[in-house]
């Protein structure tokens, strides 16, 4: 399930993206489109939040941007880890769909918090399977948070594949939680799917 610590990471990510235009100068990684991609995505979010007048239209605008810029399917597979290969094709499809729903719900549920946020962008550098773009997020009445974006450029189309806040990785945290859940339930992927469906239903009701 998306735990409290994962939700905090997601909130930090969305808040950072909503304030990107506040800082235009940052270190470019050689031959990398990641910094420009992060800036462009932030510009889109700012316009969407400024032009969409109701919570529903803002949610829809944010949803479209997230679906286009975040590799949700890739993150879903990563979080399931070795259990992805153990799942049936139908379970893989069902799991990916409900993961997508819970992730999107978690991000779009915090639209009201995107006001008064600003941040600074630091260095960008290759890291693992992507390019890391460093930012520091400042929220009113909250301490600053270091947020690092990991952007994959495989296939020539940049996508966000991870968010790290204060050194904690969203996808590694979620994979650890899923693995723990599955170990407690005898590796039953269907049990995880049902738990995620209950969480998605609670998010919708809330």
What's the pLDDT at 116? 62
Concatenated DSSP letters for 66-110? HHHHB-HHHHHHHHHTTHHHHS-HHHHHHHHHHHHHHHHHHHHTT
List the CATH number of the domain containing 143: 3.10.450.710
The residue segments making up the domain with residue 122 are: 4-205
131 - beta bridge partners? 126, 151
pTM as predicted: 0.79
**Rounded to an integer, what distance in angstroms lies between the CA atom of residue 96 and that of residue 77?**
8
Distances in Å between the Cα of 22 and the Cα atoms of 42, 72, 203 are 10, 26, 31
- The sign of the CA dihedral 112, 113, 119, 121 is negative
What's the pLDDT at 89? 97
**Rounded to an integer, what distance in angstroms lies between the CA atom of residue 152 and that of residue 61?**
23
Q: Specify whether the CB–CB gap between 33 and 124 falls below 8 A.
A: no
What's the pLDDT at 119? 66
**Rounded to an integer, what distance in angstroms lies between the CA atom of residue 188 and that of residue 182?**
6
Distances in Å between the Cα of 2 and the Cα atoms of 10, 61, 168, 172, 176 are 10, 23, 14, 12, 11
Mean pLDDT computed over every residue of the chain: 79
Dig out the tokens for 46 from the structure. Answer: 């700012």
**Rounded to an integer, what distance in angstroms lies between the CA atom of residue 95 and that of residue 130?**
25
What stretches in the chain show pLDDT beneath 50?
A: 2-31
- Which residue in 83, 105, 106 sits closest to 95, CA to CA? 83
What's the pLDDT at 90? 98
What's the pLDDT at 77? 96
Domain count across the chain: 1
Helical ranges in 125-169 per DSSP H: none
């Amino acid at each position: 399930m998306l735990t409290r610590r994962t939700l905090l990471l997601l909130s930090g990510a969305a808040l950072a993206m909503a304030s990107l235009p506040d800082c235009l100068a940052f270190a470019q990684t050689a031959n990398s489109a990641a910094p420009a991609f992060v800036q462009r995505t932030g510009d889109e979010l700012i316009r969407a939040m400024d032009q969409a007048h109701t919570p529903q239209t803002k949610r829809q605008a944010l949803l479209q941007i997230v679906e286009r810029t975040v590799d949700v399917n890739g993150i879903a597979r990563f979080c399931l880890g070795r259990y992805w290969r153990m799942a049936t094709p139908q379970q893989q499809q069902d799991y990916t769909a409900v993961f997508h729903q819970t992730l999107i719900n978690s991000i779009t549920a915090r639209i009201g918090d995107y006001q008064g946020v600003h941040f600074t962008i630091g260095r960008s550098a290759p890291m693992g399977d992507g390019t890391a773009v460093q930012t520091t997020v400042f929220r009113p009445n909250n301490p600053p948070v270091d947020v690092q974006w990991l952007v994959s450029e495989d296939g020539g189309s940049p996508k966000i594949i991870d968010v790290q806040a204060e050194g904690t990785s969203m996808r590694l945290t979620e994979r650890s939680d899923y693995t723990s859940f599955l170990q407690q339930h005898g590796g039953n992927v269907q049990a995880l799917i049902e738990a995620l469906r209950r969480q998605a239903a609670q998010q919708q009701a809330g």
